[in-house]
Each structure stands twice: as structure tokens, then as C-alpha cells.
Chains A and B, each alone.
Chain A
Amino acid sequence: EAGVTQFPSHSVIEKGQTVTLRCDPISGHDNLYWYRRVMGKEIKFLLHFVKESKQDESGMPNNRFLAERTGGTYSTLKVQPAELEDSGVYFCASSQRRLAGVASTDTQYFGPGTRLTVL
């Protein structure tokens, strides 16, 4: 079974430009999450989709970040315009639909991340 995939693996852009990150979750996983790790800091939650709906977007830093998951399959995270502090590694994770009493359905599987550098 294919894991979570992310594209691109690396992106180097200049301040003020736009970048779009893509995440393809594990097939059949309803839950999709975006996280970010800024250098020297812990991994932080950005938002959570259940299918195509935003379940929790409390971690989105500001309105320069826009996440979508049309059709409930892959997701995109757009940063427009990018700022220097947006540099970091952006991870996507997915988990299947939660089944009551089955703890393993909560397991979040992470993609390899997109390393974003804003110059």
C-alpha cells in the first residue's frame, strides 16, 4: 500500500512569491492533516480535514495560508505571499475514519515532507 506522498520535496522561493504544496493521503483515509516544523522548534499542527471539510484550522498562522481538499482526496496548501518566517518543513499526515474502540484507526501516517526555503 502506498504511503502519504508530498510534492515537491524541496522548494526555494523568494519572499513575496507564491508556493503550492500538495499532499496525497493514503487511499481511503478520510482524515488529512497539515503540520509544520520551523527550524529549532517542535512540529506544530496547522489544520485537519475530514474528507473535504475543514474540521480544525486553529493552527493556521494567518490568512496568507490557504488549504483545500476538493473532492476529499488530495490536498493543497498555498502560501501567498511567502515570508521569510514561512521557511520550514511542511508535513502532511492521514488517518482512516475513526472506528469506535479501535485505537489503531487513530494512527496518523506522515508523508516525507516538503522543505520550503523562503529567501
Chain B
Amino acid sequence: ETGVTQTPRHLVMGMTNKKSLKCEQHLGHNAMYWYKQSAKKPLELMFVYNFKEQTENNSVPSRFSPECPNSSHLFLHLHTLQPEDSALYLCASSQDDGKPQHFGDGTRLSIL
């Protein structure tokens, strides 16, 4: 398997649920990213990890909790989400200079 793989592809959850999104990259990259893609808005960077260390938190609410156990895996733990959090969540990876970034196909998240 190659590239950036995200699971699940679709997720429906209630506002009180706890769930996790998973991302795995097979490109040998050192940096991984979470983005949020909402309709009619630019992609928004959420978190950056470089060599497993978080280097960027773009003022993301604490109900989103990232975890990067190694350079190949990235998780986004979700709890007590709001309806406005419904979006496509994209994972990306790159070499440590960030150029270029390669994206997965995303997890479509719907909050009931």
C-alpha cells in the first residue's frame, strides 16, 4: 500500500460520542498534518507534527486532540463535537521542509 491512507472514510457521531480518525503514510516522510475542509471555505490547517513533535496548533478547540506515536501514524481524537465540526478532515504528509505535501482522501465527518 502506498501514499497516505485515512480511516474511516465516513463517520457519523453524536455530540457526546468519542471517536478517533486514523492516518498512515507509506512515503517515508517526517512531517504529518491535519486539515479541515468545509464547504465554501479554504482548507484550514489544524495541526503539524514534525518528527513526532507538534510544531503547529492553529488555535484548534480542545475537543480535537491529535496524537502522533511515530512518523508514519497520526490520529485525531474527537470528543464532545459540535454540529459546525461536520467537515472533511484531511491528513497530509511531507518531508520535514513541508514541500510538497501529499494528502489522503479524507474522513467525511457528520455530527448529529
A binds B: no
Chain B residues in the interface with A (C-beta under 8 A): none
